[in-house]
Amino acid sequence: MTRDDDRDAASADDEQLLVLPDDLRHELKEPMGPIETDAERLLEAVDGPLIAVGDVVTYHLLEAGHQPDVALVDGRTKRSAVDEEIREVVTSGASIEVRNPPAELSAPVVRALQRALAADEPTTILVDGEEDLVALPAIVAAPEGASVVYGQPDEGMVHVKVADDHRTEMRALLERFEGDTERFWELLEGSSDEE
């Protein structure tokens, strides 16, 4: 089935939920956890599900011999295309493809995140657009003790060990986004088989 079969279904599928307001951008530049430059050392601190957000982070974890339970990649790093080797490695197992425009959280990416978190097999989500902001709902939706790892440009990998205080902080941050927060929470916290 292509997603363009029915114009109504396509527009509902691209449903914009939240948009990052300009005044929140500076807050997101601060790392939400410790920064690590060595993937093997980072993996020593992982003892639950691992969610990787970003191509370079996913690549380093795979090169260190660990397949993330959930990986979100978009073929880009710092607004430029990743090199061919990284792209091939991180997209080879992509099992879900979704659209998510830059500086937004769309319904398809939230649904894909929920499906991936519920899956028994490692799941790679290939995002057409930008995957950066998905770290926020991933922290809210991931189980206690899970690790969410995302890239901090020119510094390394940020490792967030999911706990209630992180969830509370991310909820408060997401509530400050513009858009349909009510629908966003319904999708994020609703059943994963809603699609």
- Residue ranges for the binding site for GTP? 55-57, 74, 131, 154
**Which position has the token pair 């339970």?**
69
Under 8 Å CB-to-CB from 127, ≥6 apart: which residues?
72, 73, 74, 97, 98, 99, 100, 109, 134
Residues constituting the chain: 195
CA distance readout (Å), 17 to 13, 68, 179: 11, 26, 6
- Pairing between strand 104-106 and 16-19? antiparallel
The CA radius of gyration of the chain, in Å to the nearest whole number, is: 16
| Burial class of residue 173 in the structure, from the number of CB atoms within 10 Å of its CB (0-12 exposed, 13-18 middle, 19+ buried) | middle
Paired tokens of 107: 């319904």
Binding-site positions: 55-57, 74, 131, 154
